[in-house]
Amino acid sequence: MSVWAIVLVIISAFLHASWNILGKTNKVSVQAFFFMSAFCMALLLSPYLIWFYVIAGSQNFRAEFWGLLALSGVLQIIYLLGLGFAYKKADIGLVYPMARALPVLMVGGIALSLDQSISSVQWLGFSLITGGCLLVPLTRLRELSLCNYYNIGIVWAMIAAVGTAGYSIIDKLALSELSSQLFSPSSPQETIHQQPEIAIFYLGIQFWAIALPLGLGFLVTGQAQQFKQSWHVKTPAFIAGFIMALTYGLVLYAMLLTDNVSLVVALRQVSIVFGLLLAVVVLKEKLYPARLVGCALILSGLLIAL
């Protein structure tokens, strides 16, 4: 990875940990909170989306791109709802590391199947990161046992992890598809030849891919009261959505700068260290020795993998 891509992902990781603190403090429906977060950002970015679409030309948005976008939206919803429900059942110090651990190996395996090269040293780094994530929820090292992970919050965290792994790969494919069209020599458009512009567009259209299915789901299932709940939390939801936008916008840009998406996903796990520190400072959760060891393994794994 380039130094610039690494800097972008580290900044994103800190922001990601920050909005997870907001998600943990949410007291209303998980669906309502994340619907309003996504809807606010979708509206905010809509003028840019229209401009980009007109300038880029409709012929550059093939059916493959829209299909990948729709799938990414579904996986993002799975991730957000899984994370939200997990926070209702367990501490952020338990849920957050688990939700971040599994995607590292999942995405590595999927990336390998897509013919992206991953060295044995990088696999060692990924394994250390995952091991560190599994230690962070514990209070003592001798508590490392499967029975300590039998928690409904962990189940939801695992669902969130599946969503994370899925949308990470799909988003990389969608960005590559769109970039190949816009950067094609046969494309008559000369205005859009900057990767940040593509990242911002994809970010905004993805928020619509999250908000529209959630809103439609409220109507179809007779849960119109969810709209009222979402309105009541519009301010914290907007703040969370804004941080989410900054967070994932930086990740999308880093994906455009990096061929191997598994490295981006691995580096994002530094957010666990930030999240643990924020949980201690903001939520007054306890900092245990096992969690310090877990953080050390995560940082060691990152240094090896990169």
Classify the phi-psi angles of 187: left when phi > 0, otherwise alpha if psi is within -120 to 50, otherwise beta. beta
* CA 50 to chain CA mean position, Å: 25
> What's the confidence (pLDDT) of residue 212?
92
Distance CA 182, CA 130 (A): 37
Cα–Cα distances (Å) from 43 to 63, 241, 290, in that order, read 24, 11, 43
**pTM listed for this prediction:** 0.77
Q: In which residue ranges of the chain is pLDDT below 50?
A: 188, 190-191
> What's the confidence (pLDDT) of residue 283?
65
For the chain, where are the alpha helices, taking DSSP H only?
Answer: 3-25, 30-56, 63-89, 92-113, 120-135, 152-182, 195-220, 225-232, 234-257, 261-267, 270-281, 289-305
> What's the confidence (pLDDT) of residue 22?
60
Cα–Cα distances (Å) from 306 to 4, 33, 43, 118, 262, in that order, read 13, 35, 37, 11, 11
> What's the confidence (pLDDT) of residue 187?
52
User: What is the length of the chain?
Assistant: 306
Contacts (Cβ under 8 Å, ≥6 apart) of 54: none
Residue 58, judged by CB atoms within 10 A of its CB (0-12, 13-18, 19+), counts as exposed
Distance CA 202, CA 178 (A): 9
Distance CA 148, CA 298 (A): 20
> What's the confidence (pLDDT) of residue 253?
85
